[in-house]
Structure 1
Amino acid sequence: MENQNQFKLFIVDDDVFCATLYQKSLRNMGHNDITYFSNGTDCLNNINLNPDIIFLDHNMEDITGFEVLKKIKRYNPNIYVVMVSGQENITTAIDALKYGAFDYIIKDSDVSTKMTLIINKIIRVKEELKKSNPTIIQRFLSFF
């Protein structure tokens, strides 16, 4: 199994305090390749760095998380985007998944644990993709 530390992570959040907490907890898990952006525009301007996973804040000043998500998916549908939101809203969660987010998490005291679980889930998905015929999986995923 490939070393999970090889993931390149982006954190996109205009709340520097939250972003710093995420970075700390991700580093504690052994993830060192983390780039932080305080807005969606900077993230999109650096998307050519091809991150594996992006933790994307839903509610930002310059450009909405959904707009950023759509542009990321148009650029490279294989980037795992995890939407992070301050408020629990089922419509937002459904829309995030509809636009291609891999998962949706609420900002709360448990957010670091959730990030760990999601990264582990992505590791498992990548392993399955390697084992099976990727084109079938890609076609299957495109239905959602």
Structure 2
Amino acid sequence: MSTQEREERTVRCLIAKVGLDGHDRGAHVISRAFRDAGFEVVYSGLHRAPEEIVQAAVQEDVDVLGISILSGAHNTLVPKVIEGLEEYGAFDDTLILVGGIVPDEDREKLLEMGVAAVFGPGTPMSETVEFVREHAPDRR
């Protein structure tokens, strides 16, 4: 599928704050960038359990799940979200992104689990938007 065709369809995204992390500025920034790019965006709100994130992703039938995490609990919480998506049969149809503070040594583990990309602080919004346009699942 060409980039133009991908740009013409609406990509549905859930931006999620999982766990006790109370800092959501980055989640709001990426939500705005995705909306400005023409994506439909649902924001989970703060302090969501992995199960709540999975339920929201399934109920909203999202193409992209962006997990914003700054608390350092990514090695515990992201696998729980992935397991939940697998239980619902939604893992293969969902592009999973992680954004926030993730040490370099943990990035590879997340990618091996099925996270498509990890974006750290300072990543240009255009880079993240383009990644979604190129990699969001085609569900037509």
TM-score of the superposed pair, with normalisation by structure 2: 0.71
Distance 1:5 1:23, change over 3 A: farther
2:51 is aligned with 1:41: yes
Aligned with residue 107 of structure 2, among 70, 84, 93: 93
- Residues 7, 133 of structure 2: 8 Å contact kept: no
Distance 1:122 1:4, change over 3 A: farther
Aligned with residue 127 of structure 2, among 106, 114, 127: 114
Aligned with residue 80 of structure 1, among 82, 89, 95: 95
How far is 1:41 from its partner?
A: 3.4
Structure 2: which 5+ runs fail to align? Answer: none
Q: How many residues align?
A: 123
How far is 1:120 from its partner?
A: 2.5
Could you say which residue in structure 1 is the equivalent of 2:26?
18
- Residues 10, 51 of structure 1: 8 Å contact kept: yes
SS across alignment from 2:85: helix
Higher relative contact order, chain-length normalized (CA < 8 Å, sep 6+) = 2
Once the two structures are superposed, residues 108-142 of structure 1 have per-residue CA deviations (whole angstroms, 9 ceiling, x without a partner) of 1225233112112215x74xx99xxxxxxxxxxxx
Structure 1: which 5+ runs fail to align? Answer: 131-144
SS across alignment from 2:38: coil
- CA–CA separation in structure 1 for the residues paired with 2:64 and 2:54: 14
Q: C-alpha root-mean-square deviation of aligned residues, in Å?
A: 2.7
Distance 1:113 1:66, change over 3 A: farther
- CA–CA separation in structure 2 for the residues paired with 1:65 and 1:111: 23
List structure 1 runs of 4+ shifted beyond 3 angstroms.
Answer: 2-5, 58-61
- CA–CA separation in structure 1 for the residues paired with 2:11 and 2:129: 13
Aligned with residue 61 of structure 2, among 45, 50, 71: 50
